[in-house]
A and B are shown apart, each in its own frame.
Chain A
Amino acid sequence: ETGVTQSPTHLIKTRGQQVTLRCSSQSGHNTVSWYQQALGQGPQFIFQYYREEENGRGNFPPRFSGLQFPNYSSELNVNALELDDSALYLCASSLVKANPGELFFGEGSRLTVL
């Protein structure tokens, strides 16, 4: 149990729709990162938020966007869904300055795009 919760756990969308995924980070953690994990692959870094600002982004198009709120919870939004967006989306929280490196992951949101 990492203390990181994600919702929803599963969802199905159709191509062209929009989706919002939510994450509550572990208490006191000020950094949230999002990862996309396609079936049979390792997680791919989407972006990171630190103190409500984007703090690094992976190789993902602008239709992937995010927010971090004052309580450090976060959202991942994906517009104009494509079939290849089907994946497990993982949120991870950390406290950068105190413990650099270790991430605490939620159980993920499994998105299926039809």
Chain B
Amino acid sequence: SQQGEEDPQALSIQEGENATMNCSYKTSINNLQWYRQNSGRGLVHLILIRSNEREKHSGRLRVTLDTSKKSSSLLITASRAADTASYFCATDDGNNRLAFGKGNQVVVIP
């Protein structure tokens, strides 16, 4: 069953702006991950945050995790046209079996 739920589900921004997506989940997790998918192709792993971590950075990406609220956010700073994609959060039960949310479509306008 779907675990994560992203909010908002569609986001349109100008190049150079920041994009923020939120994700909530229902059960306890080992870690939470974010993936990107370009136009119905395969998913690309972006970042993983473990349940005992609160914030993590990778390049222009910043992920936060609040286990008390069962929520996570993904921030993409200084967005580029190439960031146009769907973004999914996924929770991991500790055995690499992921439960994905419905996805968040981001369009970056040049």
Contacts and interface: CB of A to CB of B under 8 A. Distances in A.
B98 A103 contact: yes
Interface residues of A, number: 31
A103 B96 contact: yes
A2 B42 contact: yes
Contacts of B52: none
Contact of B45 (A41, A55, A103, A110): A103
Interface in A75-114: 88, 90, 92, 94, 96, 100-108, 110
A102 B33 CA distance: 8
Contacts, number: 76
Chain B, interface size: which category? 20 to 34
Given A33-B96, A42-B2, A59-B1, A102 B45 contact: yes
B97 A101 contact: no
Given A41-B102, A101-B31, A56 B42 contact: no
A101 B43 contact: no
Interface of B: 1-2, 4, 30-31, 33, 35, 40-45, 48, 88, 90, 92, 94-103
Interface of A: 2, 4, 31, 33, 35, 40-45, 48, 55-56, 58-59, 88, 90, 92, 94, 96, 100-108, 110
9 contacts: A33-B96, A42-B4, A43-B100, A56-B97, A94-B96, A100-B94, A100-B96, A102-B45, A107-B41
